[in-house]
Structures are given as structure tokens and as C-alpha cells.
Amino acid sequence: MIQLALAVVLGPLAGFALLGALPILRRSGLAAGVVSSTVAVATLVAAVALLLGVEPGAAPVIAEVDWLPHQGVAFARLGLRVDGTSAVMGAVVALIASAVQVYSLGYMASEGRPSIGRYFAWQSLFLFAMQTLVFAPDLLQAFVGWELVGLCSYLLIGFYYQKPSAAKAAVKAFWVTKFADMGLLAGLVLLYRETGGFAWSGLQPGWTATAVALLVFLGVMGKSAQFPLHVWLPDAMEGPTPVSALLHAATMVAAGVFLVVRTWPLFEVSGPTLHVMAWVGALTAVIAALTATVQDDIKKVLAYSTCSQLGYMVAALGAGSPVAGLFHLTNHAFFKALLFLAAGAAIHAVHSNSIRDMGGLWRSLRGGSILFLAGAAALVGLPGFSGFFSKDLVLEALVGAHLWGPFALAIGGVAITGYYVGRVLMVAFFGKPAKDHGPLHTPAVMAVPMAVLAVLAVVGGAFGGRIATWLGGTYHFHLTPEGIAAIVLALSGLGLAVWVHGWGGGRALVAAAAPVGAFIRAGWLDRFYETAWRQGLLAVARGAGWFDRYVVDGVMNLVGWSVLAGSEQARRFQTGRAPDYILAVVIAFVVLAAWGAVSGLTGCGGAP
């Protein structure tokens, strides 16, 4: 079992090393992609075999080695921890990564050859980083994987680094997540000080536990794009579309939610942190969904949708249900990867990101449209589709925890989700074509991964029971009042979108909502960050400049000036005339003689 896990983690590293070390292979274009994809698929096979081999409820299998031993005591442990949580996540990650890589063989085919090699090398590294995090036996290794994931995101978001907007987006993603990671790092240090190790269990409830959990959660907020640190995620759309699919479904943003599930014992002992998480998650779910309703870029709609869905996951975790969180994470991985890949197919065919330019894809791109519809149905939570079951479980958890505020927000978000998904469908797929596209084509290498994901997006709900048992809980679907309410709200949101964007109804409503849309589009949070950052940085820089000029330089100048002035005085003694020196000798002699005479008379001090 450990061998399988080792293969899952080290396979992608080998792929990366191969592409990295062999320039001929890396610059060969699609051959590099084939190598990388093969490794990813092999990783998937190993991960699934590993998952099937894990007995629900069995003790975790851990294999680790000492890392940085000092005087016989290891600073931390490096290794693999195989249990239900890591096996499920490892399989999901490997699945999405292989689907994305195979899909990329078609999507990226028109790029330059070295670019393709670079792309796939980063993809392999990304998969390795994520698996390192997933199978980490303690928080320190998780942190290493976590940072590698952040690095790979940076590299892939900035894949088109010639484009200034892409370079900026990459830097922004890096900075925002790094800012949040300061919290995670501080949490790690605090944990180490408290327990002398990086294990995530064994912390006693108390203010320290709460501080650690809150600090770790700050890192999660950055990585999983929770309000108000979600600003990097929409900009991350500058990367190639398959990268977005990977980022949004299984790796970057999922890492945050996964970390909470993984380190659940840390959060379990901290009630206040859970409360904060529930509110942050629910707020994110609503705010991001609202923002998604006014986006014209299909990828941005999906990006804000990811934010919103991550909000649900975090809210579920806040409600004390890691099962609901991981279940929704898994289903979301299936349908969001599918949605992105299908959107990528549309973009690939139309050569535009705007839903206004698409229009009528249902007629010109039938296959891709059906796949997108399947993903959309799962996202909205139509009964029977995967998203329905997990979102229902999230809502149920919120009700169960009596978190009525977050629950109200979350269930309101369901209606908004229905609306923005309906809007995209109406405008991009069923609306009047903006121009005559003619029949559009999707290569088979892109279609197959999407088909696999589509099947999973539809039937993903069936895995709920297995996931729950793997995590040591139980799950049986039953229709609850909140579930019925969610269905009604989702359908009404969808209906509203069809009415407004399909039939052109509700002109007055659209006009009334226009200021809200303008407000959202204005990007106040981005402006706030920019202003705060710039002004804050400038103020600090000015202060530092003043300090350097007047305090540091001042002290230096004072020292120099006093030496000069002192020697100016001292040189007056050096007349260069012999009689003056003799006079000094005579005076010294007289003084010493007088001193000797006085001390000799009084009998104290002086020479013995």
C-alpha cells in the first residue's frame, strides 16, 4: 500500500525530472506532453488502486523518515500517511490532473514546442506538489507541498508571461496567497512551540488551539480564495483554460479546504474558529455568486462560481462536518473541471472568452454544449446530479449546527447560483449567435477527458456513502426541508435567468439592478487593496527614508563631525616648537612632584 502511495507521489516528480533534465524531450512539444500525461494517468491508476485498498475505518498506514535530526531528535518527519482522507483526495487530484493533461494535448497543440514542454513540466510538478501535500504525515510536509502548489500556480497562471496582464495576475496570485501563508507559517510556529512537533492532533482546547486554528485558517482563506482574500482567483483566469480547470477543481484552491479536512483535529477543538469559518464561507458563497452574475467573461463567471462553491465547503467545515466539505470538494472537482474544460472547448472553437461572442453554441457545438449542461446542472444542484447531494449535505450541516445566519446566506446563494448559471446558458449556448460560427470542432483528445468527467459529475453523488465511511462517518441521503427549499430556489434562479436573458423579460427589473451590477463591476475590493497597499507601502517607505536620512545618517555625521572638531582642538597642542614641549615636561614634572610631596605629607594615596 505504501508502495502505491510512493508511486502516486514520486511518479509525477519523476515526470517533472525527466522533462526538466532532458532539454531534447522538453523542447519536443507534444512528445513531452505525452510523457507527462502518461505519468499522470499511471498516477491515477495507482491512486485508484490505493483508494480501493484502503479499508474504511482502518488505522492510517504511516511510513516516515526523520528529517533534519539534531542530537538524535528529528525536527520533523517526512513520509506518507495513507488513510481514507488522503486516499480519496489523492485519487481526485490524480483524476483531475490526468484529465486536464490529456485535454491539454489537444488544447495546447497550437503553442510553440518549448512552451508545450514547459507547460507539461509545470503540470507534472504541480501534481507532485499536490500529492506531497495530500499524503503528508505532518503539517510541515504539508506546508512544503502547500508552497510548491502556490509556486506552480504562479508559474502556470503566468504561462503567457509575454502578456503583461498574465504576468500581473501571476504575481497577484502569488502575493495574496503568500500574505495568507504568513498566517499559516505563524500557526505552524505556534503549534511547534506548543507541542514540540508538527502533528495536527494533540492540541488541548484553549486559546492557543484557537490561535493556531485561526492562523492556519488565514492560510486557507488565501489559498481557497475566501472573502476578502479571493481577489486573486478571478485574475488567475489569465492562465490557459486547462490550468484554470486544474487550479479550480483539484489543486490550488482545493488545497485549502483539504488542509482543513486533513488537520481536522486542530479545528475540532476550537469552537470560535469554526464559527468564523461558517460565516466567512457563507459570506464568500453569496458575494462571489453575486459577482458572478455580472461577468461577461465565461471563465470569470466560472472563477467566481468556484469562489462561491469553496464558500460552501468552508461553511460546511465551519458547521463541523468535514464529510460534507470533502464530499462537496470531490463533486465540485468533477463538475468544475468539466465546466472549465467545456468552456475551454468553446473558447478554443470561438477564440473568445466573452459569452457575448459565443451565443448559440447549442447549434454549432452540440457535444461541448451537452457536457457544459451536465456540469451546469451539477453546479446548480438539480436533483440527481452530483452537486445536489453534496450541497444538500452542506446545508444540512449548517442547520444541524444551528448556524442560522450562514445558513440563510448559503441557501440564498443557491438561488443566485441558479441565476448566473442560467444567464451563461441563455447567452452563450441558447442565445442568438453573435456571428455565424458554422459547425465547430472539438478534437477527440479533448472530448474523452470531458466525457469521463461528465459521467462523474452526473453520478458523483453516489460516492457520498463511501467518502463518509472513509472519513469515519456515515451518510445516507434523505430529502430534508432545506433540500427541498434549495431545489425550489435553484430552479427559481434558473427560471429568472431564462425569463430575463432567454425571453428578454423583466426590463424594469434589469434596469433596477443595473446600479448593483455597476457597483460590483467597479471592483471596490481590488481598489481598496491597491490603495491600502500603495499608500501603506509609501508611508512606510517615507518613514524609513526619513529615519535613514536623519537618524542613521545623522548619527554617522555627528560622529564624523565630532572627530574632526576634536582633532582641530587637539592639533593646537602640537606647535612643533621644542621649548613648548619642554615647558609641558616641566609643568608635568612640577605637578607630579607637587602631587608626590602632598601625598607624602598626608600619607595617603600616591606612590608606595
Residues that bind other proteins (CB under 8 A): 570-579, 582-583, 586
Q: Write out the three cell numbers for 136.
A: 503528508
- Integer CA distances (angstroms), 204 to 180, 183, 195, 208, 269, in order: 25, 20, 10, 8, 7
Question: In the bound complex, what is the minimum distance in angstroms from residue 553's beta carbon to other proteins?
Answer: 30
- Closest approach, Cβ 592 to other proteins, in A, equals 15
State the CB neighbour count (10 A cutoff) for residue 520: 17
| DSSP string for 54-117 | PPTTPPPEEEEEEEEEETTEEEEEEEEEESHHHHHHHHHHHHHHHHHHHHHHHHTTTS-HHHHH
Give least dist CB 563 to other proteins, A.
15
Q: How far is the CB of 588 from other proteins (least distance, A)?
A: 13
CB of 594 to other proteins, least distance (A): 16
Write down the least CB distance from residue 606 to other proteins, Å: 23
Residue 137 DSSP symbol? S
Task: Report in angstroms how near the CB of residue 598 gets to other proteins at its nearest.
Answer: 20
Which residue, 524 or 581, has its beta carbon nearer to other proteins?
581
Nearest Cα neighbor of 48 from 89, 13, 78 is 89
Select 476 or 572, whichever has its Cβ closest to other proteins: 572
Termini Cα distance of the chain:
90
CB 500 within 8 A of CB 428: no
Half-sphere exposure of 430 (CA within 13 A, CB side): 16
Distance in Å, CB of 568 to other proteins, minimum: 10
* Cβ atoms < 10 Å from Cβ of 245: 34
Least CB distance from residue 574 to other proteins, whole Å?
Answer: 3
Which amino acid is located at 562 in the chain?
S
Stated as kind and residue range, the H or E segment containing 177 is helix 164-195
Comparing CA positions, the residue from 544, 516, 445, 418 lying closest to residue 109 is 445
**How far is the C-alpha of 580 from the C-alpha of 560, rounded, in Å?**
30
Number of other residues whose CB lies within 10 A of the CB of residue 371: 24
Nearer to other proteins, 55 or 580 (CB): 580
CB of 586 to other proteins, least distance (A): 6
Between 75 and 581, CB nearer to other proteins: 581
Closest approach of other proteins to the CB of residue 557, in Å: 24
Cell for 378? 451539477
> What span, in angstroms and rounded, lies between the C-alpha atoms of 152 and 128?
10
Q: Which is nearer to other proteins, 515 or 579 (CB)?
A: 579
Q: Least distance to other proteins from the beta carbon of 581, Å?
A: 9
Q: Which is nearer to other proteins, 432 or 577 (CB)?
A: 577
Give the separation between CA 405 and CA 411, rounded to whole angstroms: 10
The residue (of 570 and 601) whose beta carbon lies closer to other proteins is: 570
Q: Give dist(CA 10, CA 536) in Å, integer.
A: 43
Three cell numbers written together for 103: 485535454
Measured from the CB atom, is 510 or 582 closer to other proteins? 582
* Nearer to other proteins among residue 574 and residue 602 (C-beta): 574
Task: Return the biggest CA–CA distance within the chain.
Answer: 124
Which one, 402 or 577, has the nearer CB to other proteins? 577
Pick 531 or 575: Cβ nearer other proteins: 575
HSE-CB at 17 with a 13 A cutoff on CA atoms is 6
* DSSP-assigned beta bridge partners for residue 67: 76
Q: Where are the alpha helices (DSSP H) in 263-360?
A: 264-268, 271-292, 298-318, 322-350, 355-358
Nearer to other proteins by C-beta: 462 or 584? 584
Compute CA 604 distance to the chain's CA centroid, rounded to the nearest angstrom: 82
Cell triple for residue 149? 502548489
Q: In angstroms, what is the minimal distance from the CB of 561 to other proteins?
A: 19
Q: Distance of alpha carbon 423 from its chain centroid, rounded?
A: 27
DSSP classification of residue 430: I
Q: With respect to other proteins, which residue has the nearer C-beta, 508 or 570?
A: 570
Matching residue, cell 565630532? 562
